[in-house]
């Protein structure tokens, strides 16, 4: 271990406001645990796809009070550099994860100490309320302490610009650079006249807007089982359901209250296998027709529908198609725009084309989707990872309003004797089967990032000529830019008229991900079930082949 790194550890200890974190690092120094110090100091957290995210631990590679303090100093410096008026204020919110309250307190104290007005959410609340409040209050920025759907040991820090969307380059690099150069912070207490608690009528205006937008009037007979997956969405979402006319909603009791340990889940992510098992069991007990799930900070939406063969989990793309099918019907302004990402299904583009609505494709991440409507208004955006924006008043993914929109569609279909699965049949009968699947390889340990980079590098330098028996017609290195999009780390493998595969590292977790789509033209020659089965077999062959090539 070099002397310089030991010196950095000592400097960090001297500045760290947390007694336990200081003691942890001092013990590592005293014990000569250089490997652990390397892990905590060699690769500091950086602003990625959704801000800062990482394990709660002492040192610059972890989420801790000093990391948050410095990040917030970076935010203050960024606001000054871009000429933002500090009197417009910064909205600050938090979820209920480990460390969230302390990290929230640090952000508030640093902002107030720097002379910045603060609008603080009154309690742990869903992430979408921060970007909503930024727009409603005309704030200069917003900060949300959350790690969304990450594992229990993680926490994070999301930063929003004054348009209510997550920051994008070069703002993230500017904040990061200023944070690294931060000195000793000046702190102030909530007794400051600059401190305000977000008023209840602001939060009520969110409820009122979406109840009016997606409410069903008379009480619905639709039965729903709902789970917030131990997150902060529970009480707020149940209140929205009730106000919107969904009276027959049963919460999953064992997952309803916030719990930072997520005791019933290996990973608190509605995408993960088994995450909705308890919700489906609850739905069976109450004879529900629909399962709705939010992730722990309620910015994502998962769902399952009862079908002839039991419960069918809806993929993110399928939920996106369903929401688009109802929202596109309402669009008649030439400024209206719908958008999705390069790793999501291509079906939304076809749906928008038939509806004569402008379509935009973006890089992965809602910070790009939220800004896709250049010169227009984003009326609907989604990403396959269960993120959906159904209304322009929230410039980020919002699992609460998306849940209401999906429930309204299910209610309207049920009134006609149909289900969400029937609507999916209609969509694919009209536009052709779009079979989608995802391969996700999780890395662990300090070598995880290196293993992911090596696996993707091998694919980049030695791309296959066929995958799963399908010829690769073109290989596009997304790091060189593609279709007018900025460069990003990943590869696009075009499979002729059959489909495509995108391989990229996750921006929020230590994963290498592959997104597979196999398509076919609409056909009356064979049944929809037969077409789906044939496409699914091709997808599975591609997935198995890719897993063998990418495994690390």
Active-site residues, by number, are 148
Instruction: Give the contacts of 3 (CB within 8 A, at least 6 positions apart).
Output: none
- Determine the 3-state secondary structure of 227 from DSSP: strand
Which of 6-34 are b and which e, b meaning 16 or more Cβ less than 10 Å from the residue's Cβ? eebbeebbeebbbeebbebbeebbeeeee
Three-state helix/strand/coil letters over 201-224: HHHHHHHHHHHHHHCCCCCCCCCE
Query: DSSP of 407-446, one letter per residue?
Result: HHHHHHHHHTT--HHHHHHHHHHHH--EEEEEEEEE--ST
- Angle at which helices 34-41 and 3-15 pack, to 10 degrees? 70
C-beta of residue 393 within 8 angstroms of C-beta of residue 371 = no
Instruction: Give the contacts of 313 (CB within 8 A, at least 6 positions apart).
Output: 276, 302, 303, 304
C-beta of residue 361 within 8 angstroms of C-beta of residue 340 = yes
Phi–psi pair at 508, nearest 5 degrees: -125, -15
Q: What residues form DSSP beta bridges with 338?
A: 359, 380
Instruction: Please give the angle made by the CA atoms of 49, 476 and 537, to the nearest 5 degrees.
Output: 90
- Tell me the C-alpha to C-alpha distance, in Å, between residue 232 and each of 148, 247, 253, 306: 10, 21, 14, 26
Which of 458-472 are b and which e, b meaning 16 or more Cβ less than 10 Å from the residue's Cβ? ebbeebbeebbebeb
Please give the biggest Cα pair distance in the chain. Answer: 74
- Indicate the DSSP class of residue 146: -
């Amino acid at each position: 271990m070099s002397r310089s790194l030991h010196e950095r550890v000592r400097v960090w200890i001297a500045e760290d406001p947390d007694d336990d974190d200081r003691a942890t690092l001092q013990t590592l120094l005293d014990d000569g645990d250089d490997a652990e110090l390397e892990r905590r100091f060699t690769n500091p957290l950086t602003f990625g796809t959704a801000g800062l995210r990482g394990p709660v631990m002492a040192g610059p590679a972890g989420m801790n009070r000093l990391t948050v303090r410095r990040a917030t100093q970076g935010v203050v410096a960024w606001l000054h550099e871009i000429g933002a008026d500090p009197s417009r204020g910064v909205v600050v919110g938090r979820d209920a994860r480990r460390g969230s309250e302390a990290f929230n307190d640090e952000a508030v104290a640093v902002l107030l100490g720097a002379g910045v007005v603060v609008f603080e959410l009154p309690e742990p609340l869903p992430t979408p309320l921060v970007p909503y409040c930024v727009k409603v209050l005309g704030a200069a920025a917003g900060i949300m302490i959350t790690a969304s759907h990450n594992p229990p040991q993680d926490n994070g820090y999301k930063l929003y610009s004054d348009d209510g969307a997550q920051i994008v380059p070069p703002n993230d690099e500017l904040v990061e650079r200023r944070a690294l150069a931060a000195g000793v912070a000046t702190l102030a207490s909530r007794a400051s006249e600059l401190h305000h608690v977000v008023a209840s009528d602001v939060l009520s205006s969110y409820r009122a807007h979406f109840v009016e937008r997606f409410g069903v009037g008379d009480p619905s007979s639709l039965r729903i089982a709902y789970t917030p997956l131990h997150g902060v969405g529970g009480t707020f979402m149940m209140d929205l359901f009730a106000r919107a006319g969904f009276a027959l909603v049963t919460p999953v009791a064992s997952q309803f209250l916030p719990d930072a340990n997520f005791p019933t889940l290996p990973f608190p992510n509605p995408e993960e296998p088994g995450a909705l098992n308890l919700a489906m069991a609850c739905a069976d007990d109450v004879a529900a027709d629909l399962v709705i799930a939010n992730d722990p900070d309620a910015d994502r939406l998962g769902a399952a529908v009862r079908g002839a063969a039991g419960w069918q989990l809806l993929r993110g793309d399928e939920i996106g198609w369903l929401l688009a099918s109802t929202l596109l019907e309402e669009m008649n302004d030439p400024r209206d725009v719908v958008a999705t990402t390069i790793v999501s299904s291509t079906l939304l583009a076809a749906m928008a084309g038939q509806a004569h609505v402008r379509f935009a494709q973006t890089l992965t991440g809602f910070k790009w989707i939220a800004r896709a409507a250049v010169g227009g208004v984003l009326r609907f955006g989604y990403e396959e990872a269960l993120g959906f924006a159904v209304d322009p008043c929230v410039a980020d993914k919002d699992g609460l309003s998306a849940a209401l929109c999906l429930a309204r569609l299910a209610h309207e279909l049920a009134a006609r004797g149909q289900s969400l699965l029937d609507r999916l049949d209609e969509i694919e009968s009209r536009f052709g089967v779009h079979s989608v699947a995802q391969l996700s390889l999780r890395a662990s340990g300090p070598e995880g990032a290196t293993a992911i980079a090596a696996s993707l590098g091998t694919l980049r330098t030695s791309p296959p000529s066929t995958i799963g028996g399908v010829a690769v017609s073109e290989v596009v290195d997304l790091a060189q830019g593609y279709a007018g999009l900025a460069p990003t780390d990943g590869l696009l493998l075009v499979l002729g008229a059959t489909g495509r595969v995108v391989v990229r590292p996750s921006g929020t977790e230590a994963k290498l991900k592959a997104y597979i789509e196999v398509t076919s033209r609409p056909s009356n020659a064979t049944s929809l079930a037969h077409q789906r089965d044939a496409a699914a077999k091709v997808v599975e062959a591609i997935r198995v082949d890719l897993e063998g090539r990418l495994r690390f």
